[in-house]
Amino acid sequence: SCIILVDALCEAEYHRPDVGDTITSFLLKHLPNFPPWLKLVATVRTQLQEITRRLPGTRLSLDQSDNVQRDILDYITRRLSDNPGIQANVWKDGASTQHKFNQYLTNLAKGSFLFAKLTLDLLERGHLVAKSSGYKVLPVSLAQIFLLHFNLRFPTVRSFEKINHILSVCLAALYPLTLLEIYYSVNAILVDDFLAWEEFLQRFRLLSGFLVKRL
């Protein structure tokens, strides 16, 4: 058997093409022609699961799954136990405080491994110090985490303006752009100025970790 994993079908709906299929409508059209040995596993957010209503197959909900919570708890526990940097920024009183923090972050993550990972990354780098009993310093959503990352990387309006147009182009694109396509698109925005290639590359490097370069 061959298994194809399609993660976050719903996110493709945010970039529906003017003509042609979305990923969901493409699958709906071609699934009857799939050979028996070809299996499909797809994920979708609960609040947008309506888009999969017409797709055949077995449905499983992970929202209330104890297995997901246990997996995230195991992940958090392992990272804390193996990383002195995180330990130094989380607790002082040993195992009892560690257990309390592990449970708190697990509940805060609400099933999102990305949220747990990025929060622990911030603690590891010393950008967050969560030693108070209420852990109020911790972000409560991915939006807050990304905002914190951006504030750390671009602390002033002037520093953000250097990469503003690059981000605008990448977020507006319906598909991943090559570096050259981003460069031409940015210069199309800059009506009164021209951004040299070398300067563009320097600005693009400022987004290292936020954007992945397409070869």
Domain contains 213: no
| The pTM of the whole model exceeds 0.85 | no
- pLDDT per position as a tens digit, 106-129: 999 988 889 999 999 999 998 988
Per DSSP, helices labelled H in the chain are 9-12, 23-30, 66-82, 84-88, 95-109, 113-124, 142-153, 157-172, 179-189, 197-205
The vertex-191 CA angle with 190 and 195, nearest 5°, equals 40
41/75 same-domain check: no
Domain contains 40: yes
Residues 122, 148: contact at Cβ < 8 Å? yes
Give the confidence band of 16 by pLDDT, cuts at 50, 70, 90.
confident
Provide mean pLDDT across the span 156-176: 90
Domain contains 141: yes
Q: For the chain, what's the residue count?
A: 215
Domain contains 164: yes
Q: How many domains does the chain have?
A: 3
Domain contains 133: yes
191/120 same-domain check: no
- Cα dihedral 65/69/72/78 (nearest 10): -130
- Show the domain range for 24: 2-52
pLDDT at 105 over 90: yes
Domain contains 60: no
Domain contains 59: no
